[in-house]
Amino acid sequence: MARKCTPTYTIEFSLNILAWQKHRIEKKFKIVRTVYNSCLGEALKRHKSVKSTKEYHTLLKEPKSKERNHRLSEIRLANGFSEYGLHDFVKLVQHKFKGNIGSLEAQKLATRAFQTV
């Protein structure tokens, strides 16, 4: 069934905040961007190491089976390419910015970086 086209509107309001609040928000955005980019770089590095494994390429050519999938996941885990592997990595990065970003926020950023890769 086709979706009905209804008019939509967007309205933007300027945020009236004090200068110190603006600086604090900008600082937090910069830190979050730094943490996300470091997680993304680490995830890409780990993914590249998984793809460079010869056994991984030979397993991809085999027909799908539970054993094949299990061996592929073992290769990924051996190279640290998992969501929880990135959570361990982000602990070290987040520790530097402990006062500005919480551990749950950092783990969420690591999850998003893993899903992106």
Band of residue 1 on the pLDDT scale cut at 50, 70, 90 = low
| Measured distance CA(38)–CA(44) in Å, rounded | 10
SS3 81: coil
Tell me what the mean pLDDT of segment 8-24 comes to: 91
Q: What percent of the chain has pLDDT over 70?
A: 98
- Over residues 24-71, the pLDDT tens digits come to 999 999 999 999 999 999 999 999 999 999 999 999 899 999 999 999
Residue 18 backbone dihedrals phi, psi, to 5 degrees: -75, 160
What residue spans of 52-82 are helical by DSSP H? 54-61, 66-78
| CA torsion angle 30 34 37 38 (round to 10) | -170
pLDDT at 15 over 90: no
- Over residues 23-35, the pLDDT tens digits come to 999 999 999 999 9
Summary mean pLDDT of the chain: 92
pTM above threshold 0.85: no
